[in-house]
Amino acid sequence: MTAIPLDRRKNEARAESRERRDAAARADLGGAAGAALRDRVLGAVDFPTACAVSAYWPMGSEIDPRPLIGALHGRGHAIGLPVVLRPGAALVFRTWAPGLALTAGGFGTRIPGPEQAEIRPEVLLVPLLAFDRRGFRLGYGGGFYDRTLAALRAAGAVRALGLAYAGQEIAEVPRGGFDQGLDGIVTETGAILGIRNQRA
């Protein structure tokens, strides 16, 4: 029996996971999941005082991190949003604050303008299509977060937490040697933390 190539398995999983995430977003009546996610993260995750945190501006059916990043900003954390400079490069993170006007970025994202200072995050809040209990995420296929996490981890200690609807969990994310695992995952219903240390 011929093994299915990894790229094909990932693409098939992406199609299924988009449908699963879309269904979770449709069930999120009134957008309550974003507030629930905020409360789960703040109740479960220990953020070092005034550490820099990267997040993302939601697009499509991604779970909404804006209540969370607003709360973290209010607690004195510098917040950065990801910016794609070019294909094949790691992401950079430009400073965000409540009320900041965002511009159109690549791949349908909204980003701070180039006049905003860049930050190096100590904690990354990462979007995803699907996750599993071992802390692996299925992304969109560009490899941006894998490159970014590899570079940041090579330079020092950082933590990466996936943010998702609980309904985005799958039994096993197809992965290769390049794929970077997460340190934890938080959903609107719970948190799975310390995963990367358990895999080590």
pLDDT at residue 12 above 90? yes
The domain limits of the chain are 6-199
Q: How many CB atoms lie within 10 A of CB 190?
A: 11
| pLDDT tens figures, 142-159 | 899 999 999 999 998 899
Whether the CB-CB separation of 118 and 93 falls below 8 Å is answered with yes
CB 87 within 8 A of CB 140: no
Class of domain 6-199: alpha beta
CB atoms within 10 A of CB 154: 7
Q: What is the pLDDT of residues 17-34, one digit of tens each?
A: 999 999 999 999 888 999
pLDDT digits (tens, 9 = 90+) for 64-86: 999 999 999 999 999 999 999 98
Beta bridge partners of residue 83, listed in sequence order:
92
